[in-house]
Chain A
Amino acid sequence: MIPRLHPKVTQAAAKTLLWALTGLTLLILIFIIVNISIKGLPQMTLGFLFQDPQDMGRHGGIFSTIIATIYVTLLAIVLASPLGVGTAIYLTEYTREGWATRIIRFGSECLAGVPSIILGLFGFVLFVMKLGFGWSILSGGLTLAIMVLPIIIRTSEEAIKAVPQEYREVCFSLGLSQWQTITRIVLPSALPGITTGIMLSVGRSLGETAVLLFTAGSALRMPTTLFDSGRTMAVHFYILAREGISMPNAYGTAAILMISILLINLAAYTLMQRLVKRYS
């Protein structure tokens, strides 16, 4: 007979192991944050934040890259959110499960699996060349929108599905139309989930490089119109580090990028808590 370990022993072992794994995950995160902060924070002065880069980014600040990042991200989110949420509403509320919904869902999942470098190439061919938008904020925003669309569709769909079916039935039994039911009950209840999806997309857009190298270009000038090329923070970091222009400035950029993503997540979290409180 094979001797079995006592349940108390396996329980203790499992607990220790799982605790260690969780601790390790946390440790990796902390290491990254601390490492980048130590190397990047010393660069973070008001001048670094609010001056345009000079001499390829060797000197000066990163102001134009911050603005380009905001433009591109904002454009992508403004384009992708209504499209994604609308698709999610259609898939969950307006159609029955069938071959059509399966094709749309499969398509969106495939889109999510496309490597961003290939998406970048696609954006380059379509928006930059074919439609003649050139390397620009517009091309970058459009391609990023395509990239985050599946995230928004997926999370919105899950959030809408999680709204109790009862609420819909009550609305119908009160004689409300389907659209009234969606706008008054379903969307407000699903809002925290939808917001999470949009915030995830903001995070993805802020950190994206491959897509933007191909579509928004890497001009260091301050972009003033949609058709100007612009270099985002992530691309700036990539070029500074890759071409060995200035490691301190690269880390400074990385620190700012990381802090803004953390702040956005924090803001999203508080906003969500408030929404959840209001509707429950």
Chain B
Amino acid sequence: MTISPADSDKILQCPLEGIITLRRLNLYYGDFHALMEVNAAFQQQSITALIGPSGCGKSTLLRTLNRMNDLIPGIRITGEVVIDGQDIYTPGVDLTQLRKKVGMVFQRPNPFPLSIYDNVVYGPRLHGRPGRRELENLLEHSLSSVQLWDEVKDRLQTPALALTEEQQQRLCIARLLAVEPEILLMDEPCSALDPLATLRIEELMRELKKLYTIIIVTHNMQQAARVSDDTGFMYLGDLVEFGDTGQIFTRPRDTRTEDYITGKYG
């Protein structure tokens, strides 16, 4: 297949290299072509937002980055997903190592039905045999990173499900940070939260950006505008436009992007 003018145009719009680089990524659910010739580069220690109407492949794209889509039957992927210089879809890739490096935060807060303490140290405990001291350091560090330490340090043994939804989402992020990832994938992490809690999680994301690369899928355009450095607009499996957030929201190049951000559909 030759690269059509539209495709080559898209490549030129974004930087060619990043900590994650997608080259001509295609994904099929059976006969359904869910991602079409996606090219993109996600930059280190920055926040990239993926926006677009429902069912246009945002979450699907996010889930190709830690190979979570592998669980779905009938899926087929072509093209390259290069993370830290390695194509993660080549045979022999260590899935466990990949997923440790590329962590994921889900739509609904989903702590395990265990204590706060056990939730945070869950990953590290299974990855090695850390000592009690080591675990406690990790616990404090992870919970402090999500600004939850002061709120829960006196009740670490209480059930995680007794926390508020926002605290639960923070806890889920802390649980993820405890396995020391480099990249955080966030799939509409605020969709279950109220507006104030949403703002606080966004604040947290800006903090986390100093150490981690964050990619967030969101339905909330204001959120993308507020929090992200780069934005990608997806429509019907196509990454229509990808680039600097300021530019996308003020001077979109594609009419579909413009129609979406001005609220003509979606």
Contact = CB atoms under 8 A, between A and B. Distances in A.
Interface in B59-113: 66, 68, 71, 73, 96-101, 103-104, 106, 108, 110, 112-113
A174 B112 contact: no
A170 B127 CA distance: 15
Interface of B: 66, 68, 71, 73, 96-101, 103-104, 106, 108, 110, 112-113, 122-123, 126-127, 161, 172, 175-176, 179
Contacts of A189: 113
A279 B113 CA distance: 6
A175 B97 contact: yes
29 contacts: A96-B73, A97-B73, A164-B110, A166-B106, A166-B108, A166-B110, A167-B112, A169-B71, A169-B104, A169-B106, A170-B110, A170-B112, A173-B103, A174-B99, A174-B100, A174-B103, A174-B123, A174-B176, A174-B179, A175-B98, A175-B99, A175-B100, A175-B101, A175-B179, A176-B123, A180-B126, A184-B126, A185-B112, A189-B113
Nearest to B108: A166
A173 B176 CA distance: 8
A168 B100 CA distance: 14
Interface in A142-201: 164, 166-170, 172-177, 180, 184-185, 189
Contacts of A172: 68, 71, 99
A175 B112 CA distance: 15
Contacts of A45: none
* A: interface residue count bin: 20 to 34
A172 B176 CA distance: 11
Contacts of B122: 174
Interface string A119-156: 00000000000000000000000000000000000000
A25 interface: no
A280 interface: yes
A280 B175 CA distance: 18
Nearest to A172: B99
Contacts of B100: 174-175
Q: Top 7 nearest A-B pairs by Cβ distance?
A: A175-B100, A173-B104, A174-B123, A175-B99, A96-B73, A166-B110, A280-B113
A20 B240 CA distance: 65
A280 B108 CA distance: 17
Contacts of B108: 166
